[in-house]
Amino acid sequence: MDASSDLLKKLFGRPVRVHLALWVLGGGDTFYLQEAQVAMQAYAHAASATREEVLTLRDCGMLVETAVSGRKYYTLTDSEWWQVFQTIGAVVRAQSSALPQESDGRTDNAPSPIG
């Protein structure tokens, strides 16, 4: 884990939560779990950790879960907490190249939230 990930963990719990939130903000309004898991692999986060954080964001009212044909989709809500994550991402980017710049794995061709 690099210094920026250590800082994120100390300040906000798990770095995967911040990375996931920024990825969600940078894409379309809706995604499915596997998309998020693939994207978080670029940050070296396990699929199980990504799943836990998607559920955390859902439980905190930041995402709504909808099942369609056996696949669970997650849609952003208008939660004010998203602004907090936008600010966190801006601060981290301003202080270092802490967040990876690789492709985010999103299938909707949305811009990367960290690029």
* 97 vs 22 pLDDT, higher one: 22
Q: What is the CA 98 to chain-centroid distance, rounded? A: 15
Residue 7: predicted pLDDT: 64
Question: What confidence tens digit (pLDDT) does each residue in 16-26 have?
Answer: 998 999 999 98
Of the CA atoms within 13 Å of residue 93, those in its CB half-sphere come to 14
CATH of 3-92, one of 3.30.565.10, 3.10.150.10, 3.30.2290.10, 1.10.10.10: 1.10.10.10
Question: What confidence tens digit (pLDDT) does each residue in 51-90 have?
Answer: 999 999 999 899 999 999 988 999 999 999 899 999 988 8
Structure tokens at 79: 């939660």
Strand partners, 72: 67
Of 60, 62, 36, 59, give the one whose Cα is nearest residue 47.
36
30-32 β-sheet, strand order = 30-32, 71-76, 63-68
Residue partners of 9: CB distance under 8 A and separation at least 6: 1, 15
Residue 45: predicted pLDDT: 94
From first CA to last CA, the distance across the chain in angstroms is 20
Q: Is 8 helix (H, G, I), strand (E, B) or coil?
A: helix
Longest dimension (CA), the chain: 43
